Amino acid sequence: TPTERIGIHTPRCADSYAELRALNMVSRVSCREADGVAVPRNFGELALKTLKRSNLYLQELKVTHRDDTIVIPVTNVEKAIAILRSQHIPCRHLRMCFPSKTTLRHATLRDFLRDKVPQKDLERIPRSFYIVGDIALISLDIELAERYGHLIAEAIMKLHPRIRAVYARGETVGIERVRRLIFLGGEPHTRTIHRESGINIVVDIAHAYYNPALATEHERVASIIATTPGAKILDAFTGVGPFALHIAKRSWCYVVACDINIYALKLLRESIRLNKLRGHIEALNVDSFKLLESLDRAGILFDYIIMNMPHQAIEALCHALNAVRSRGLIFVYTIAHSDDEALSQVKNKTLECRGIAFRVVEVRRVLDYAPRKYIYRLTLERT
Ligand SMILES: C[S@@+](CC[C@H](N)C(=O)[O-])C[C@H]1O[C@@H](n2cnc3c(N)ncnc32)[C@H](O)[C@@H]1O
């Protein structure tokens, strides 16, 4: 066939996406089957100029290069061949998938859904979504999830060919803060490996808390702690251990990482094996409220304590302040409407801690939580 002669792989258009990508012929683009003319590369510029002048170049598709040949998509192949031959340009007919000029890099989820979802519903579908490993998580109303879930999943997987499963993400519930999920499409699986600043984190979105939007925060806290080599750190509500992993990746240290969710710790232990860490992480399945109380009573001191359980962590603040050395830091998270409210939550709680001197080093808004409600981190220094 002409295709074989010219040495260009011409996959079926509908299934060509992954194949084209695998062949490295195009990157992240959609494609459309069309007639083209193949010409030797040294005639390429002249051929394209001639076809453009005659209005025969099919403008919305891209010219494709392959070895010593270029293939130009055309609106009328017979006319195109006749004109090129009249100019003594060697050419032959080829029907193949041409990359579309709208690359997926610029396309949006809504672009993919526009002809399938009525406008009023389209506007309720979020423009963005989270990616955790090879899983996408999108915030959707149940009604939208039921009606358009499969279309949304299909569109996301077209936009991001690495994604293999798509879920609607609900709220995090219960003491273990595990997220409610609705499967929308792809290959159903909830366990994956997510890469966060060069660290491989084993995650199971159905069984343990993990939020990729906290990546910068994990890094920020780790970079503060890394200034103290050999530090002893308590990550009291570690989940799958992103703080602990970031810290141990950066510096030689000893991290005690605790969680009540035994499955989260199992995932953390897998991540510890997967990554080359400088520090040592001890993963402990304990109730951190009780642990902090015991540390306080026993007078055991840490250099840093991370308390990332925004709903409740403040409750254990007095014990934490007694379990951190002088000049040591506590990173405590809370939910509030404003900086002032976050600060007064901490101040009110610490009124109960008798004889503990500390100062607030930083109040930082970390994440949106609900309309006009945010997750804050307060950094406290024991003085
Ligand atoms: C918001 S998540 C934080 C996870 C982690 N720090 C991160 O950044 O991804 C809170 C974690 O606290 C754990 N947790 C809740 N109550 C606990 C307790 N009493 N003792 C230890 N861990 C607890 C939950 O299982 C959950 O994994």
What is the predicted pLDDT for the residue at 112? 83
Beta-strand ranges (E) seen in 223-353 are 232-235, 254-258, 280-284, 302-307, 324-336
> Mean pLDDT score of the chain, rounded to an integer?
89
Does the beta carbon of 258 sit less than 6 angstroms from any atom of ligand 1? yes
Name the residue of 172, 199, 237, 367 to mutate for ligand 1: max ligand atoms within 8 A of Cβ: 237
Q: Which fold does the domain 2-103 belong to in CATH?
A: Alpha-Beta Plaits (3.30.70)
Does the beta carbon of 259 sit less than 6 angstroms from any atom of ligand 1? yes
Nearest CA to ligand 1 atom 24: 176
Give the model confidence (pLDDT) of 10-54 as tens digits.
333 333 344 434 433 334 446 778 899 999 998 999 999 999 989
Query: At 309, is the secondary structure helix, strand, or coil?
Result: coil
Question: What does the domain layout of the chain look like in residue ranges?
Answer: 2-103, 109-189, 211-382
Instruction: Please state, in angstroms and rounded to a whole number, the distance separating the CA atoms of residues 257 and 302.
Output: 12
- The CATH architecture to which 211-382 belongs is 3-Layer(aba) Sandwich (3.40)
For 109-189, CATH number out of 3.30.450.30, 3.40.50.720, 3.30.300.110, 2.60.120.1130 equals 3.30.300.110
Please say whether the beta carbons of 132 and 190 come within 8 A. Answer: no
Q: 221 alpha carbon to ligand 1 midpoint, in Å?
A: 17
Q: 147 alpha carbon to ligand 1 midpoint, in Å?
A: 34
Instruction: Please state, in angstroms and rounded to a whole number, the distance separating the CA atoms of residues 362 and 220.
Output: 12
Pair of tokens at residue 181: 């999920």
Does the beta carbon of 263 sit less than 6 angstroms from any atom of ligand 1? no
Q: With 80 as the cut, is the pLDDT of residue 101 above it?
A: no
Give the model confidence (pLDDT) of 197-227 as tens digits.
999 999 999 999 999 999 999 999 999 999 9
Does the beta carbon of 334 sit less than 6 angstroms from any atom of ligand 1? no
